[in-house]
C-alpha cells in the first residue's frame, strides 16, 4: 500500500529494480510496459487479496443460505425445572405457556431421531426442536412433568445422573462422596477425607493433598460400610433426584428417552484418568442395564466447553458415545463438532422463548464454527439407535 501511495503522489515510477525486470523477462508471454510495472506489482496483490476475500465471503453466505434452505438444522432446548428458589425460575403458568407454544409452533422430535437424521444427511422438518431436561430432579417430576403430560406425548430426553439415583450399590455411594467433594460448599479438604478413607484401609497418612482422582481410587477399595460412613460424614443430600421407579413411569409413556449426565456430576475440566473413564463408562453401563438399549448421547454437567479436553473426547469415543452436549447457545448442524453440541435455554419468559425457538434468528446470531472441526456430526459412525 505504501508504494502505491508514493507512485500517485509523484506521478512517476520509481527506478526499476533489476529483479523486477528479469522476472518480466522470464514470464515473457505478457508484454508489460516497463514504466507501469511497479504499479502493477504493487496493485496486483491488493486486488488478489480483495478477490479472495470477496470469494470467501460469498461462499460463506452461500453455505449459510444452503443451510437455511436445506433445513438441516436443529434447535436443542435445555431446561432443568429444578431450582424453584431461584429468582428467575418460571412459575407453573409460564412453563405451561412455553410448552404449549412449543407444541403448536415447532416440530418437536425425539433427540436421537433428529440427530440420526442429521448424521445421515436427511432434511429435518421446519423449526425442528428437541428438548433435553437435565438432572432428572424431583422438582421437575413434581412441577414440569405433569405439564409435559398435558402436551399429548411431547417427546423429550432426560439427562440422568445414574450414580446419584438412590441405590445400595458401591457405585452410588462413591458417586455421592465425589459429588459431595466437588459440589458441597462446606466440605472437608481432600486430605482429610483421604485420611478417613485410609484409616478403613489401614494405610498410613500421607503428607500431601491428594488429587480428586487419587481420592476416587481410594474410595474404590472401600467396603460399602466405609463408604456409607463417608457419605454420612459429608452429609451429602440424596432426596433431590428421581427414583428408578419414577424414571420407569416416565419411560412407559414412550415419549421419554434417557441420556447420560455422568455418575457424580463433576466439572469435567478437573476429571482425569480412571475417574474420568468411570464417569463416562459406568454411567452408560448402568443406564443401558436399566433400559436394555444403547445410550449414545452424553450431556456435560455445567455445560462448559472447557471440560471437553482431549482425554475426555477419547473417553467418549472409546465408550461408544456419538454425541455430547454443552449449554453454549447455537444451532445443531452437520458441520458442528459432535462432542461440542450447543443447546438453547428453554427456561426463559415467553417472548425470549419464542426467540430461542426461531431457527432463522439463531442462524444469524450465532458465531461461525471454528474452521477445523475435529469430529463433525456427519462423521458419527454406524447405525444410530435411540
> Could you tell me if 132 and 299 are in contact, meaning their C-beta atoms sit under 8 angstroms apart?
yes
Question: Which grid cell is 297?
Answer: 448421547
Nearest approach, Cβ of residue 244 and Zn ion (Å): 18
Which span (35-43, 101-109, 126-134, 317-325) binds Zn ion, by CB under 5 A? 126-134
With binding defined as CB under 5 A, does residue 279 bind Zn ion? no
Q: Distance between CA atoms of 301 and 271, rounded to whole angstroms?
A: 12
Q: List the one residue from 81, 110, 112, 134 that touches Zn ion (CB under 5 A).
A: 134
DSSP string of 61-109, one letter each residue: HHHHHHHHHHT-EEEEEEE----TTSTTPPPHHHHHHHHHHHHHHSEE-
Nearest approach, Cβ of residue 159 and Zn ion (Å): 7
Cα of 121 vs its chain's centroid, Å: 21
Nearest residue (CB) to Zn ion, 301 versus 307: 301
Which span (15-23, 61-69, 118-126, 129-137) binds Zn ion, by CB under 5 A? 129-137
With binding defined as CB under 5 A, does residue 171 bind Zn ion? no
Question: Which grid cell is 226?
Answer: 466405609
Nearest residue (CB) to Zn ion, 161 versus 377: 161
Nearest approach, Cβ of residue 162 and Zn ion (Å): 13
> What kind and span of H or E run contains 241?
none
Name the DSSP letter for residue 369.
P
Nearest residue (CB) to Zn ion, 78 versus 118: 78
Under rule CB under 5 A, which residues in 290-319 are in contact with Zn ion? 301
Nearest residue (CB) to Zn ion, 65 versus 184: 184
Alpha helices, H only, 28-85: 37-70
Q: List the one residue from 38, 135, 264, 268 that touches Zn ion (CB under 5 A).
A: 135
Q: Distance between CA atoms of 252 and 16, rounded to whole angstroms?
A: 84
Question: Which grid cell is 272?
Answer: 482425569
Question: Which grid cell is 258?
Answer: 434417557
Total number of residues binding Zn ion (CB under 5 A)? Answer: 3
Under rule CB under 5 A, which residues in 50-109 are in contact with Zn ion? none
Q: Which residues bind Zn ion (CB under 5 A)?
A: 134-135, 301
Amino acid at each position: 500500500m505504501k508504494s502505491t501511495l508514493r507512485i500517485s503522489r509523484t506521478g512517476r515510477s520509481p527506478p526499476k529494480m533489476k529483479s523486477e525486470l528479469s522476472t518480466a523477462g522470464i514470464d515473457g508471454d505478457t508484454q508489460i510496459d516497463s514504466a507501469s510495472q511497479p504499479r502493477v506489482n504493487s496493485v496486483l496483490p491488493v486486488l488478489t487479496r480483495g478477490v479472495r476475500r470477496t470469494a470467501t465471503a460469498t461462499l460463506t453466505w452461500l453455505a449459510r443460505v444452503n443451510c437455511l434452505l436445506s433445513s438441516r438444522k436443529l434447535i436443542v432446548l435445555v431446561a432443568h425445572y429444578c431450582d424453584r428458589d431461584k429468582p428467575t425460575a418460571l412459575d407453573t403458568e409460564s412453563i405451561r405457556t412455553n410448552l404449549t407454544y412449543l407444541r403448536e409452533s415447532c416440530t418437536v422430535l425425539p433427540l436421537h431421531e433428529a440427530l440420526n437424521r442429521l448424521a445421515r444427511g436427511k432434511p429435518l422438518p421446519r423449526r425442528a426442536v428437541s428438548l433435553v431436561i437435565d438432572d432428572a430432579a424431583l422438582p421437575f417430576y413434581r412441577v414440569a412433568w405433569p405439564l409435559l403430560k398435558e402436551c399429548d406425548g411431547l417427546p423429550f430426553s432426560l439427562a440422568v445422573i445414574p450414580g446419584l439415583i438412590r441405590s445400595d450399590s458401591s457405585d452410588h455411594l462413591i458417586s455421592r462422596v465425589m459429588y459431595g467433594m466437588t459440589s458441597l460448599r462446606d466440605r472437608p479438604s481432600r486430605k482429610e477425607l483421604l485420611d478417613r478413607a485410609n484409616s478403613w484401609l489401614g494405610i498410613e497418612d500421607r503428607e500431601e493433598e491428594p488429587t480428586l482422582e487419587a481420592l476416587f481410587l481410594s474410595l474404590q477399595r472401600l467396603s460399602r460400610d466405609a463408604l456409607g460412613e463417608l457419605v454420612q460424614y459429608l452429609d451429602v443430600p440424596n432426596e433431590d433426584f428421581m427414583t428408578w421407579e419414577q424414571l420407569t413411569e416416565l419411560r412407559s409413556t414412550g415419549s421419554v428417552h434417557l441420556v447420560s449426565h455422568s455418575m457424580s456430576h463433576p466439572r469435567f475440566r478437573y476429571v482425569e484418568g480412571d475417574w474420568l473413564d468411570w464417569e463416562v463408562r459406568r454411567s452408560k453401563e448402568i443406564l443401558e442395564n436399566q433400559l436394555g438399549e444403547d445410550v449414545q448421547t452424553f450431556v456435560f454437567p455445567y455445560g462448559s466447553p472447557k471440560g471437553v479436553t482431549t482425554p475426555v473426547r477419547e473417553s467418549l469415543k472409546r465408550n461408544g458415545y456419538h454425541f455430547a452436549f454443552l449449554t453454549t447457545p447455537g444451532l445443531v448442524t452437520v458441520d458442528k463438532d459432535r462432542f461440542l453440541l450447543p443447546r438453547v435455554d428453554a427456561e426463559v419468559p415467553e417472548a425470549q422463548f419464542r426467540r430461542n425457538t426461531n431457527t432463522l434468528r439463531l442462524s444469524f446470531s450465532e458465531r461461525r464454527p471454528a474452521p477445523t472441526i475435529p469430529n463433525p456430526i456427519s462423521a458419527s459412525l454406524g447405525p444410530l439407535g435411540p
